[in-house]
Amino acid sequence: MSGDHVHNDSQIEADFRLNDSHKHKKDKEHRHKEHKKDKDREKSKHNNSEHKDPSEKKHKDKHKNNDKHREKDGEKHREKDGEKHRDKNGEKHDKHREKDGEKHKDGEKHKEKDAEKHRDGEKHKDKHRDKDREKRKEEKMKSSSGSVKVKKANGFSSPVRVKDEPEDDGFHMSPKENKAMKRPRDDDEDYKPKKIKSEDEKKGKKRKQEEEDIKPKKKSKGKGNEGEVKKKKVKKEEEEKWKWWEEERHADGIKWKFLEHKGPVFAPPYEPLPDNVKFYYDGNLVKLSPKAEEVATFFAKMLDHEYTTKDIFRKNFFKDWKKEMTADERNLITNLGKCDFNAMSQYFKEQSEARKNMTKEEKQKIKEENERLLQEYGFCVMDNHRERIANFRIEPPGLFRGRGDHPKMGKLKKRIMPEDIIINCSKDSKYPVAPAGHKWKEVRHDGKVTWLVSWTENIQGSIKYIMLNPSSRIKGEKDWQKYETARRLKMCVEKIRNTYKEDWKSKEMKVRQRAVALYFIDKLALRAGNEKEEGETADTVGCCSLRVEHINLFQELDGQEFVVEFDFPGKDSIRYYNKVPVEKRVFKNLQLFMENKQPDDDLFDRLNTSILNKHLQDLMEGLTAKVFRTYNASITLQQQLNELTNGDDNVPAKILSYNRANRAVAILCNHQRAPPKTFEKSMMNLQGKIDAKKDQLMDARRELKSAKADAKVKRDEKSKKLVESKKKAVQRVEEQLMKLEVQATDREENKQIALGTSKLNYLDPRISVAWCKKYGIPIEKIYNKTQREKFAWALDMADEDFAF
């Protein structure tokens, strides 16, 4: 069997990736509302037909289905193995279903109760809110559908091909890389910092200094040796940096030997509102107790946000708010709809305005204070080096902003106190001191983890951490390792593909499902898709947790055979929509998996991420589902860069090519963003600039023509010179026009696609570095300062020959 099925239809693939998934852009309002509707419909169906225990019946069906599947496929002689699995799995599902059924019932009860509570009083206001929401929705629809298409006068259009396997150029690791990745760090070293490396210490100051240095130069608009100065600066900066990638690494599992830090910065205490800021309930002035007032301000601060119009948000908020009220307040305030937060909201707007209008000196003072905090708390010492901490501030209290239809949105995120905090540091370090009158929950010394501080949040009960900045050794090493794993996958991906294709024919349902799921993960870069607890989070899915309702099968669609239509809410409730032609065998398998199932049944009922990842581990050490995403993203970037870059292009055109390659990856990974609020306007502004530039070009050409004519008559030096200068002027304006047009194309194509996520998390930075070096593009055009810091290892080690 040929190993390139994934790529045979690459053209078709490219089409659906760039057209369909592009066409079906973010539809946040809509986000899986349709799913819900379907689900609800199904639920009510179930409720009608299965009075006792819907889950039980459903599961029996599942079993029946699977037996049928087997028989249909000529698997009458069942393997012992398969039988065992089936039975055990069956048990699991029964349990699961029962649990679910119970939960459902509970959920329904709650719903009813809540609905009752809500019914009175709020109806009126909510109606208005609904109207507003609809209005906004309409506006949003209008603005996206009626978007002004920028004329691509320069002939740039989106690249068509996305995912093709490039020629296998082998797997290379420079001796430098090889050495650095493999060498273990000696264990006997005492890492207590006798002397901290000075280069790191300077970092904060340098950052500031550099900003000051660069500013005035930028204003001088590309005069003279600005480029040179910048280059020198960058070079100097590089020389001073700690090249951890050239040093030995700790033995496996050991993250650090010495760690010292100052602990977290807590949210400032609540400041009560001034007396003139009033709160009204049912038209009457009410002075709230400090605790109740604080929680009320959280709501007031969000009053303009769509969240506060959502039913779940309001219910959750009101419930938690009441817990903070005094008994009297609780008795009085019984209806959120009668609460008037407008004065509070107005007050915060004024505060924000006042902050904007502060004098330079005042702003400077705040900046300095922030810098002081950063210097004191924003760095730690880890194994002799001063490293930047990513998030040294504890999350302030507020209202939980879950994404999508999150059942817990609006709940009160409680204030974190020192007594909630676990500190992690070296035994022999100077421990952080808890704020006066407080103590830490615990101080531990665990060098096998990377976090400095942790606490448990009250919404989901999950643990939150303070960790190091992406530029740190500990994060960089891990990042580097991630891409090395993806490169290892490259070496054996063909074999793996052949294996899963064989498995499509397996006698075991479990194996077939695993093989089809893996095919999707590989071909479409889907996420693994863990199981989620219902009612705890928004209903989102990944590959293994896809349900029947999330796909549609078409024997033929738009002239293509065996098309699968995916439509599901993915991570962050971002809609994934795609129409994919698949192999016939995959299609038939899917039909089988779906047979006799309800829309809300699992598509892969014999599979979960744990089973899948265990299997992957057997295929390649360190292989997990998410490695496919990294691998496919990086290989796509490399292949797209090869395809799209034209060596003769100027720098802006080459950068457009880069962005397009990046965009192909973002589309593959379904990285979407809400179109910027000012998109249409900024696009129009840009178009205005382009038009003006065109006029200018016409003028310049006219002037050149007349200068030429003049020179023909006069034939003197002066007029010759004039012609030359006019020629240059035309050239200059042409370049400027082209730059603007490229910018417009880029911006238009980027309207709803977020490039940052893939750039930061999926694309081996060495590909970009190599590309920059090969085509003479300054790296600053691709990576900003923070990104350069994060990818310092790649900047240093990749030369132009690097191949992923």
Partner DNA sequence: TTGCTAACTTAGAAAGCCCTCC
Partner DNA sequence: GGAGGGCTTTCTAAGTTAGCAA
Give the active site residues. Answer: 762
Q: Rounded to whole angstroms, how far apart are CA atoms 73 and 68?
A: 8
Query: In 3D, which of 543, 562, 554 has the Cα closest to residue 602?
Result: 543
Choose between 368 and 716: whose C-beta lies nearer to DNA. Answer: 368
**Could you tell me the CA-to-CA distances from 631 to 8, 178, 499, 634, 735 in Å, in that order?**
19, 20, 18, 5, 37
Closer CB to DNA, 627 or 729, in the complex: 627
Nearer to DNA by C-beta: 754 or 798?
754
Report yes or no: 550 and 2 within 8 Å, Cβ to Cβ: no
Count of beta carbons in the 10 Å neighbourhood of residue 539: 21
Instruction: Tell the residue number behind the tokens 């329904």, with chain if given.
Output: 108
Compute the Cα dihedral for 794, 797, 799, 802 and give only its sign.
Answer: negative
What is the closest distance, in whole angstroms, from the C-beta atom of residue 357 to DNA in the complex? 8
H or E element in which residue 403 lies? none
Residue pair 567/36 in contact (Cβ under 8 Å)? The answer is no
Of the pair 583, 640, the CB lying nearest DNA is at 640
Q: Which two tokens stand for residue 155?
A: 């002939």
CB of 467 to DNA, least distance (A): 6
Going by C-alpha positions, the residue among 746, 574, 752 that lies closest to residue 673 is 752
At closest approach, how far in Å is the CB of 399 from DNA?
Answer: 9
Q: Which of 504, 465, 567 is nearest to 31 (CA)?
A: 567
Helical pair 80-145 and 509-524, crossing angle rounded to 10 deg: 30
Angle between helices 765-775 and 625-644 (to 10 degrees): 10
Query: Please, what is the minimum distance in Å from the beta carbon of residue 24 to DNA?
Result: 14
Question: CB neighbours of 91 closer than 8 A, spacing ≥ 6?
Answer: none
Structure tokens given for 287: 């002075």
Tokens 């880069």, located at residue:
658
Tokens in use for 646?
A: 């034209």
Q: How far is the CB of 562 from DNA (least distance, A)?
A: 26
The first and second tokens of residue 759, run together, are: 């750039």
* Residue 116 or 252 having the CB closest to DNA: 252
Q: Which H helix or E strand runs over 466?
A: strand 463-466
Which residue, among 549, 576, 524, 64, has the nearest Cα to 516 in the 3D structure?
A: 524
Nearest-approach distance from CB 724 to DNA, in angstroms: 27
Nearest to 66 by CA among 604, 615, 611: 604
C-beta of residue 752 within 8 angstroms of C-beta of residue 673: yes
DSSP per residue, 519-556:
HHHHHH---------BTTB-----STT-BGGGEEEEEE
CB 593 within 8 A of CB 543: no
With beta carbons less than 8 A apart as the criterion, state whether 192 and 508 touch.
no
Long-range contacts of the stretch 435-439 (C-beta < 8 A, 24+): 435/266
Instruction: Please give the structure tokens belonging to residue 441.
Output: 């929950």
Phi, psi for 53 (deg, rounded to 5): -140, 95
Instruction: Report, in Å, the least distance between residue 718 CB and DNA.
Output: 32
Cα(210)–Cα(224) distance, integer angstroms = 19
